[in-house]
Structure 1
Amino acid sequence: MNDQFDGNGIFPKGEKNEAYAQYFQGTSYLTMLSTEGVKIGNVVFEPGCRNNWHIHHKGGQILLVTGGRGWYQEWNQPARQLTAGDVVNIPAETKHWHGAAADSWFAHVAVEVPAESASNEWLEPVSDKDYGKLP
């Protein structure tokens, strides 16, 4: 665990993620690293920030954790703690969320797996009650 991680990593932190802020609880930052062929974004979460439950239809997503400490959880499964170097392969049609631990910044590179007619469906927020149960 890197307690010194402050959101500034090997990729630029970027601007506040205003475009998707309605799908996050807390503040996140987004820098698109590639928008040609494969969409790749660097996402940085302030402590306690997490995105809503969501589903990637058709293509799925790959997360490459680059800093801090965070969580990934699939629907009806236990949450998995994430630290720098972890890789998460999220199959298409899997309901999930990811975000920072309550006491740590968190950063990952999000790779959208290309697929014809791929889309993302944003769902309900992760409840404070459920999030608060994480160690």
Structure 2
Amino acid sequence: MAKHEEIKNGVIFPTGEKNEVYSQFFVGQSYLKTLISDPKVNVGVGNVTFEPGCRNNWHIHRDGFQLLLVTGGEGWYQEEGKPAQFLTAGDVVVTHDGVKHWHGAAKDSWFEHIAITSGTPEWLEAVTDEEYNNVK
């Protein structure tokens, strides 16, 4: 059984449905539960759950930012040109406007975070298996 498999049952917030809307921007299976989607508020909030080995593509937030509040499991965050950061519950990541990055689960663990996002995402190339397998 994969480490932290209880994450898939939504420990704090509901796991949500399979993330079909953004599936073309992920390697592996993710799940999304929108927590706040209010047109009067210039920020979206969602609970994103990653199966082991799942990660999103490299991407940039234009005219905004992204905050990640890790709520469970083990995962990775990496900005272009920098070493990957290992993440566990309680970690917080701030991604500033225009910074190319990716995030996702460790190979052997489910991973979950609350994403607080403003601006427009620009989705880029997939994180290759070679890039992913070389994170330390």
Where on the TM-score scale, by shorter chain, does this alignment land: which range?
A: over 0.9
Q: Following superposition of structure 1 onto structure 2, how do residues 43-62 of structure 1 map, counting pairs within 5 Å?
A: 43-62=48-67
Alpha-carbon distance between aligned partners in 1 of 2:21 and 2:112, rounded to the nearest angstrom:
18
Q: Is 1:128 matched with 2:129?
A: yes
1:4 CA displacement: 3.4
1:119 CA displacement: 1.1
**Letter of the aligned partner of 1:63 in structure 2?**
L
**Letter of the aligned partner of 1:127 in structure 2?**
T
Structure having the higher strand fraction is: 2
Aligned to 1:109: 114
Aligned to 2:84: 79
RMSD of aligned residue pairs (Cα, Å):
1.0
Query: Structure 2: which 5+ runs fail to align?
Result: none
User: Structure 1: which 4+ aligned runs deviate by more than 3 Å?
Assistant: none
1:134 CA displacement: 2.2
Q: Contact conserved, 2:83 with 2:135, CA < 8 A, in 1?
A: no
Query: Structure 1: which 5+ runs fail to align?
Result: none
Alpha-carbon distance between aligned partners in 2 of 1:24 and 1:46, rounded to the nearest angstrom:
11
Length, aligned pairs only:
129
Aligned to 1:19: 21
- The match for 2:68 among 44, 63, 67 is 63
Q: TM-score, normalised by structure 1?
A: 0.92
Aligned to 2:4: 4
1:129 CA displacement: 0.6
Q: Is 1:40 matched with 2:45?
A: yes
Aligned to 1:88: 93
User: Is the partner of 1:129 in helix, strand or coil?
Assistant: helix
Alpha-carbon distance between aligned partners in 2 of 1:73 and 1:55, rounded to the nearest angstrom:
12
Query: Identical aligned pairs, as a percentage?
Result: 58
